[in-house]
């Protein structure tokens, strides 16, 4: 079976970090016999500049065909004034929605060498390894009615939180399946105390559990309490499953526990395609960081680790994914740091490609 990849570097630091991922992909081709048929295209502001839309139809069609899409980042100040419908973020949301990528996996893992970067105490975060499963195609991000409307003599902004049973069911299953391969624990978060959608969420997650996953430990928590518990003692969690908006917030909280947004990958998965592989898009959790774009300062690790997730979840090569993750861990343990990971004054950070060099050297050493 051929392995097809669509690379969408996007905006800001996206192209710089993606350039390092391309070197890693080539390494796996040359040294591990893992060949990828790679195509590249535009998304976000970069697509808007050329096509007048943040994702061209041809790009969307290609994304539907490939085994995995790798995305860098979208957005930047240059596009702030654009109409909402063509903002760079709309390109990303279109990919998520049309590929129906309902399960967004956001691991928050604390690399031991970086434990002191967390705003929390070392013992609270060292060894942390949790997985947030965020529902990604529904809820308040997409619910209708939405808009800004005239009402009497003032305007009203409306968004709708909406979940069907089947939408909750499928993301709950994804969380339980993952938990079985990890710590076998799921905590589901909603606001069943104030929201009907939360009541239904809790009920459906419990039902799926009782019917098909009774061996997995399940608990429920209100999402606000969940945010608090994530800061108090995050190691109590294994897999957290939650809706689109709460997942957006909670995954940023969880990300910061680990000390650096520059380290965190994500996978967004949908239903299996004809070849058995899931529809999939992989992207770093960090944004386009326009303030440092084009300066060779960006940390490529999150994007590289997103490719590791692709190896694991799309190409069924958990062994090679682990090899890549270990290489990144080794480089950090050796003290190689991009600027975002610098603590001591006077120390010299490596550049984006310097970090790529170090990871490639660690990969060579792994053979």
Annotated binding residues: 76-89, 96, 106, 134, 224, 248, 252, 287-299
Q: Which two tokens stand for residue 30?
A: 């040359």
Q: What is the contact mask toward ligand IPM in residues 231 to 270, using x (rule: CB under 6 A)?
A: -----------------x----------------------
Candidates 248, 313, 330, 340; catalytic one: 248
* 334 included as an active-site residue: no
Distance CA 331, CA 365 (A): 11
Bridging pattern class, strands 265-272 and 103-109: antiparallel
Can you spell out the DSSP letters for 145-156? EEEEEEETTEEE
141 is catalytic: yes
CA distance 85 to 117: 38
Shorter beta-carbon distance to ligand IPM: residue 53 or 199: 53
Q: Alpha-carbon distance 109 to 259, whole Å?
A: 10
Cross-strand bridge partners of residue 281: 69, 268
Instruction: Please say which residue, 75 or 234, places its beta carbon nearer to ligand IPM.
Output: 75
Q: Which CB sits closer to ligand IPM, 285 or 331? A: 285
Q: Of the residues 97, 224, 235, 357, which is catalytic?
A: 224
82 contact choice in ligand IPM, Mg ion, none (CB below 5 to 8 Å, kind-dependent): none
Which residues pair with residue 89 across a beta bridge?
Answer: none
Q: Can you give the binding site for Mg ion, defined by CB under 5 A?
A: 248
The tokens 């792994």 sit on which residue?
A: 366
- Stretch (H or E) spanning 9: strand 3-10
Q: Site for ligand IPM (CB under 6 A): how many residues?
A: 4
Which residues define the annotated binding site for substrate? 96, 106, 134, 224
By CB under 6 A, tell whether 89 contacts ligand IPM: yes
Contacts of 272 (CB under 8 A, 6+ apart): 278, 279
Selected catalytic residue, list 11, 191, 282, 313: 191
What is the spatial distance between Cα 281 and Cα 279, in angstroms, rounded to a whole number?
7
| 277 HSE (CA, 13 A, CB side) | 24
Give the C-alpha separation, 182 to 130, whole Å: 9
Any catalytic annotation for residue 282?
A: no
Q: Which residues are annotated as a binding site for Mg(2+)?
A: 224, 248, 252
Window contacting ligand IPM (CB under 6 A); options: 13-21, 32-40, 88-96, 301-309: 88-96
- Residue 89 contact, options ligand IPM, Mg ion, none, Cβ 5-8 Å cut-off depending on partner type: ligand IPM
Q: Which stretch binds ligand IPM (CB under 6 A): 77-85, 89-97, 158-166, 169-177?
A: 89-97
Name the residue nearer to ligand IPM (CB basis): 89 or 320: 89
What is the Rg, in whole angstroms, of the alpha carbon atoms belonging to the chain?
20
* Residues engaged in binding ligand IPM (CB under 6 A): 89, 92-93, 248
**Active-site residue list:** 141, 191, 224, 248, 252
């Amino acid at each position: 079976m051929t392995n097809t990849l669509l690379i969408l570097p996007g905006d800001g630091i996206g192209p710089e970090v993606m350039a390092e991922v391309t070197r890693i992909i080539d390494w796996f081709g040359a040294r591990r016999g893992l060949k990828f048929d790679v195509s590249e295209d535009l998304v976000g502001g970069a697509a808007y500049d050329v096509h007048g839309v943040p994702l061209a139809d041809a790009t969307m069609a290609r994304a539907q065909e490939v085994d995995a899409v790798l995305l860098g980042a979208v957005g930047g100040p240059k596009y702030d004034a654009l109409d909402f419908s063509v903002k760079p973020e709309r390109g990303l949301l279109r990919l998520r929605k049309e590929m129906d990528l309902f399960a967004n996996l956001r691991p928050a893992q604390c690399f031991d060498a970086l434990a002191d970067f967390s705003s929390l105490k070392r013992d609270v975060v060292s060894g942390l390894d949790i997985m947030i499963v965020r529902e990604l195609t529904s809820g308040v991000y997409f619910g209708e009615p939405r808009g800004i409307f005239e009402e009497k003599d003032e305007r009203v902004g409306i968004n709708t939180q909406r979940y069907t049973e089947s939408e909750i069911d499928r993301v709950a299953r994804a969380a339980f399946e993952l938990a079985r391969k990890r710590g076998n624990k799921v905590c589901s978060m909603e606001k069943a105390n104030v929201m009907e959608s939360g009541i239904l969420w809790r009920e459906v997650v419990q039902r799926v559990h009782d019917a098909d996953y009774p061996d997995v430990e399940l608990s429920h928590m209100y999402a606000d309490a969940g945010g608090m518990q994530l800061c108090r003692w995050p190691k109590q969690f294994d897999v957290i499953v939650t809706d689109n908006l709460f997942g957006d917030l909670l995954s940023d909280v969880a990300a910061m526990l680990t000390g650096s947004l520059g380290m965190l990958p994500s996978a967004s998965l949908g239903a299996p395609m004809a070849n058995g592989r899931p529809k999939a898009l992989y992207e770093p959790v960090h944004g386009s960081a326009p303030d440092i774009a084009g300066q060779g300062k960006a940390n490529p690790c999150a994007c590289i680790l997103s490719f590791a997730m692709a190896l694991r979840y799309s190409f069924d090569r958990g062994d090679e994914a682990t090899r890549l993750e270990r290489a990144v861990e080794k480089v950090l343990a050796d003290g190689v740091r991009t600027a975002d990971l610098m603590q001591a004054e006077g120390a010299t950070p490596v550049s984006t490609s310097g970090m790529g060099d170090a990871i490639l050297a660690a990969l060579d050493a792994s053979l």
